Amino acid sequence: MVSDGSPKHGLRFWTTMSSLTVSFLLAYLEATVVTTALPTIAADLHANEFLWVGTAYALAFTALIPLSGGLCDAFGRWPLMTASLALYAVGGAFAGSAQTINWLVAGRAISGLGAGGLGATVTIIMADLIPLQQRGLFNGLLGMVLCLGGGIGPVVGGVLAEEGHWRWSFYMIIPMTGLAISLFLLSYKSTTPAGSVWDKMKGLDWFGTALVAGSSIATIIGLSWAGIQFTWSSPQTLVPLIIGAVGLVLFFVYEFMWAENPLVPLSILANRTSLSGYIQLFILSMPFNVLTYFLPVYFQACHGLSPTASGVDLFGVTFTIAPISMLTGASIALYKFYRPQIWSGWAISVVGFGLLSRVTADSSLAAAIGYSAVAGVGIGLSWASLQFPILAPLPVEMNARALAFYGFLRAYSQAWGICIGGTVLQNQLVARLPTTFTQEHPQNSQIAYALIPEIMSLAPEVRGEVRTAFAESVRVVWLVMLAFCALGVLASFFMEGLSMEKKVDEKWQLEQESVGTESGNVEKLLEKDATAITQDSALQRP
């Protein structure tokens, strides 16, 4: 059932929104907290497989999201939300107590599962409560929260790493998760679909879930190994890449032709505007994640910054994206169009990464921070806008499935970003690091990352060569992201400028506000009382 007008917002709505923003902050705080602390963690745990700390989180984040839309429709929103928060806390405890890199990776994977459920459910509940036409400002708010998490995370991780307390980067999540659960359970009251647990479980697309999760994981594993642990032409690299690619093709064929309750209904991709939006989303998520992961590498390796200082210098990106996302969302809500913002975002992103590709080991910090801020402006413009071309052509009843696929693509792309950026960096380091360094460290590419904190203590001539190798390697990463942004420009030309829904799906409205607002409820009760009095008067007439 679809409500005929825009719902008004009362106290329960705003309390629910507070719980959602806290939860969203948690998901992205934990995603970035290791970016500046990773060299310290790698050195402390004597680990070479550092990329898996970020990749495991991204893979697990990706694995649960495709099923989230079906779970939300079958069981209601609050069970998935609370279960995701609980998983998140367990993963934080596990990662914080890690004694080996494998232990840490396992904890990050558990946290990633929780974060995947959180990211999808938050956007689905927001779509339940806010019509698409009004959602620009709220999407901007989520963008600001995301950037706040992305900005605070590296600084907090850097401070704790410098003090020798990197484990608290993960432990601090536990009390914050408790706060988010309490806020959510106190405020959110909505429909719980009828039916037995068994019937609901049978109705979910488990085969499709296994197919897409397995294929995604295989692809990321192949990308992670390529050129680092194995050559690109080796069976260890090619087999998972081929399995992943074939599996993803089979997933879409199965979803469109045979699935009874598909994770990705054909209808959400059957128009060019939604398809263009999804393609742009997949492309955009890569440069966003690459900036937050690999700018600290440049800052620490080439300028000798501490983890904390490199996190502070990331503010050029994160705290640029935040206000731009808010302003972009407000402009969409006010003017009711989204294409100019998206086109401007892609154009500025191309300029930003082009400028970053000119940065060398001897460039000033101000130049690197300023150029990254330009890229951040472009990313912020597009990031706050891409949900609109995806949802504008679709009926509101498709929100949960469309947004679950939205979350999946965003997370899957971020995992690609980490792996592609890391693979490019490592392969470039293999070719560029000086022989005096590689002879001393035979496993040069991975050991080099763990030794970033020690670069400034190397002999001057070796230090200069290592700094240059890192700067030139990171430069290639920016050029690859520039190419992806150019693809985003091309994909953006296929979307249409459509009107946006003023309605929401009444089935998932907050119980207290299902008729509009608390004042609306009072008016309805008064009207009921007046009718009763009239009827009583009629009965008393002779």
Q: Is residue 104's pLDDT more than 90?
A: no
pLDDT tens-digit map of 451-499: 677 778 778 888 888 889 899 999 999 999 999 999 999 999 999 988 8
Residue 527 located in a structural domain: no
pLDDT, position 527: 44
Residue 532 located in a structural domain: no
With cut-offs at 50, 70 and 90, classify the pLDDT of residue 174: confident
Quote the CA–CA distance of 286 and 219 in Å, as a whole number: 15
Lowest-confidence pick of 86-90, 153-157, 357-361, 514-518: 514-518
Calculate what percentage of the chain has a pLDDT beyond 90: 18
pLDDT, position 540: 41
Residue 412 located in a structural domain: yes
Top pLDDT among 305 and 273 is at 273
Strand partners, 226: 230
Quote the CA–CA distance of 318 and 299 in Å, as a whole number: 15
Q: Is residue 103's pLDDT more than 70?
A: yes
DSSP letter at 541? -
pLDDT, position 521: 44
Residue 364 sits in a domain whose CATH number is: 1.20.1250.20
Structure tokens belonging to residue 332: 């969409």
The neighbour count for residue 474, using CB atoms within 10 Å, is 28
pTM: 0.77
Q: Is residue 291's pLDDT more than 50?
A: yes
With cut-offs at 50, 70 and 90, classify the pLDDT of residue 35: low
Residue 114 located in a structural domain: yes
The residues, any chain, with a CB within 8 Å of residue 257's CB and separated by 6 or more, are none
Residue 251 located in a structural domain: no
Q: How far is CA 291 from CA 127, 237, 369, 518, in A?
A: 29, 26, 11, 45
Range of the domain at 15: 11-191+198-205+260-518
Instruction: Read off the pLDDT of each residue in 32-49 and give the average, rounded to a whole number.
Output: 72
Instruction: Read off the pLDDT of each residue in 309-338 and give the average, rounded to a whole number.
Output: 82
Top pLDDT among 307 and 505 is at 307
pLDDT, position 279: 95
What is the maximum span of the chain, computed from C-alpha positions, in angstroms? 111
pLDDT, position 537: 41
The residues, any chain, with a CB within 8 Å of residue 526's CB and separated by 6 or more, are none
pLDDT, position 228: 64
Instruction: Read off the pLDDT of each residue in 137-145 and give the average, rounded to a whole number.
Output: 75
Residue 89 located in a structural domain: yes
Count of the separate structural domains present in the chain: 1
Residue 106 located in a structural domain: yes
pLDDT, position 531: 46
Helix ranges restricted to H, 197-271: 197-202, 206-225, 235-257
pLDDT, position 352: 96
CB-based burial, 295-315: b 16+ in 10 Å, e otherwise: bbbbbbbbbbbbbbbbbbbbb
pLDDT tens-digit map of 257-267: 888 888 888 88
pLDDT, position 480: 96
pLDDT, position 378: 94
Residue 2 located in a structural domain: no
pLDDT, position 491: 96
pLDDT tens-digit map of 400-430: 888 888 888 887 887 788 778 888 887 888 7
pLDDT, position 142: 75
Top pLDDT among 489 and 325 is at 489
pLDDT, position 50: 63
Instruction: Read off the pLDDT of each residue in 223-250 and give the average, rounded to a whole number.
Output: 82
Q: Is residue 48's pLDDT more than 50?
A: yes
pLDDT, position 508: 58
Residue 317 three-state SS: helix
Top pLDDT among 448 and 422 is at 422
The residues, any chain, with a CB within 8 Å of residue 525's CB and separated by 6 or more, are none
Most confident of 107-111, 161-165, 186-190: 107-111
Lowest-confidence pick of 39-43, 106-110, 385-389, 448-452: 448-452
pLDDT, position 490: 96
pLDDT, position 47: 64
Q: Is residue 176's pLDDT more than 50?
A: yes
Q: Average pLDDT, whole number, for the chain?
A: 80
